[in-house]
Amino acid sequence: MPSFCFGVPVRILVEDISLSIQGKPILQNVSLDIASGQSLALIGPNGSGKSTLLRVMAGHICADQGQVTIGKDRLCDLSPRNLAQRLGFVSQEAGTTDAIAVEDAVKLGRTPWLSLLSPFRGEDSRIVETAMSEMAISAYGKKQFNTLSGGEKQRVHIARVLAQTPQIFLLDEPTNHLDICHQIAIIDWVIRQKSTVAMAVHDLNHAFACDRVAVLYGGKLVAFGEPSEVLVPDVIETVFQVAVHPNFAEQLNRPVLAFSKSTAAL
């Protein structure tokens, strides 16, 4: 896959975020510091707050307490246009109008950069073409979005966000609906890129690709650090209630985790 040039990466700082919905605590005093150009994997059981935290970081949900800072700017001070130029978000079920060609869907990613004085130009076309190539969807350009498989649609959504050329990527389970080959391609992209990335993952083995791992449990941050420090049996068994069986894979130069039912969960 070709190299892709994004905006200059920046730090994203999450400070003391708390959020309750209908009186139920969803996030409790969560703080994260993701350095410029660093990648972070968010892991935790279903309902632990991963998706909600990403939506707070993207400005889609207002927290009851705390703040998010992008570079030197508070998230709440950024206009929607400026925020879209700086931050790209892929949800678990990203929405795109069905009656649209794939290429046109990806072109929507350039919207924050366009105006009457700056219409769609050759440079925008190059960015769209490169984003489609990155996600291996160039052959689908003229196809209608609603004719694609779930995995193909997911790759279109990611390509659209790539076309935004943001400084920060927030990805909520980006390997959803993807076969193994394309899951690996997404993780490989995370390893190769130089932007700031935070992504929620269900497959804990994917978290090894990131520079840091954050573990959410019951809306609280219970572990944060390098994969070798966090993806260890003690942490995983406590949070996920499973038995962990690490095996070192020489080809990957890291452990591969296998799981079985924990007697503690019975």
**Is the domain of 105 the same as that of 181?**
yes
What is the pLDDT, as a whole number, of residue 96?
65
What is the pLDDT, as a whole number, of residue 78?
97
pLDDT tens digit string along 207-263? Answer: 999 999 999 999 999 999 999 999 999 999 999 999 999 999 999 999 999 999 875
| Residue in 96, 87, 208, 198 with CA at minimum distance from that of residue 154 | 96
Residue 266: which pLDDT band, with cuts at 50, 70 and 90?
very low
Mean of the per-residue pLDDT values for the chain? Answer: 92
What is the pLDDT, as a whole number, of residue 4?
54
Share of the chain above pLDDT 90, in %: 81
- Dihedral of CA atoms 187, 192, 194, 196 in degrees, nearest 10, equals 10
Residue 119: which pLDDT band, with cuts at 50, 70 and 90?
confident
**Is the domain of 226 the same as that of 240?**
no
**Is the domain of 184 the same as that of 194?**
yes
- Strand 65-70 vs strand 12-21: parallel, antiparallel, or unpaired? antiparallel
Strand partners, 217: 220
What is the pLDDT, as a whole number, of residue 2?
42
**Is the domain of 107 the same as that of 221?**
yes
Alpha helix ranges (H) inside 135-179: 150-163
State how many domains the chain has: 2
What is the pLDDT, as a whole number, of residue 1?
40
**Is the domain of 116 the same as that of 191?**
yes
What range does the domain containing 257 cover?
A: 232-266
pLDDT tens digit string along 158-198? Answer: 999 999 999 999 999 999 889 999 999 888 888 787 789 99
**Is the domain of 148 the same as that of 263?**
no
Q: What distance in Å separates the CA atoms of residue 75 and residue 62, rounded to the nearest whole number?
A: 10
How many CA atoms does the CB half-sphere of 87 hold within 13 Å? 26
What is the pLDDT, as a whole number, of residue 188?
86
Higher pLDDT, 115 or 222: 222
Residue 93 has pLDDT above 90, yes or no: no
| Residue in 2, 54, 51 with CA at minimum distance from that of residue 32 | 54
Residue 75 sits in a domain of what CATH number?
A: 3.40.50.300
Domain assignment present for 70 = yes
Residue 69 has pLDDT above 50, yes or no: yes
Residue 27 has pLDDT above 80, yes or no: yes
Predicted model pTM: 0.92
Span 61-86, mean pLDDT?
Answer: 96
Domain assignment present for 5 = no
